[in-house]
Amino acid sequence: AALLGGLLVGFGLWHVADAALSHWLLGLHRIRLDGESPLASDLGWLAAFGLVPVAAGWPLLRRRGPGAPGSAIAVLAALSIGAGLW
């Protein structure tokens, strides 16, 4: 459960960072350019692929069972974020 939590949090945080940096601060790309409201598409994507996975994964990270070392889970979450950035 903790491994899944780390993966979900890493996946979600990558999408939050991507939305903030690529979509809004740097203006590199949008989710839908042809839509009436590109911001609405960006916000929907952020919610579905950023906030929901973080919200689902966070409780799994907090609920450690036997044999689930916190440092290994933190490393997996960081690797997931780093792979997305790369």
- Rounded to whole angstroms, the Cα distance separating 3 from 61 reads 8
**pLDDT tens-digit readout, 30-68:** 777 777 887 888 888 899 999 999 999 989 887 766 555
Stated pTM of the model:
0.68
Tell me the CA distances in angstroms from 56 to 48, 62, 85, one per residue in order. 11, 11, 21
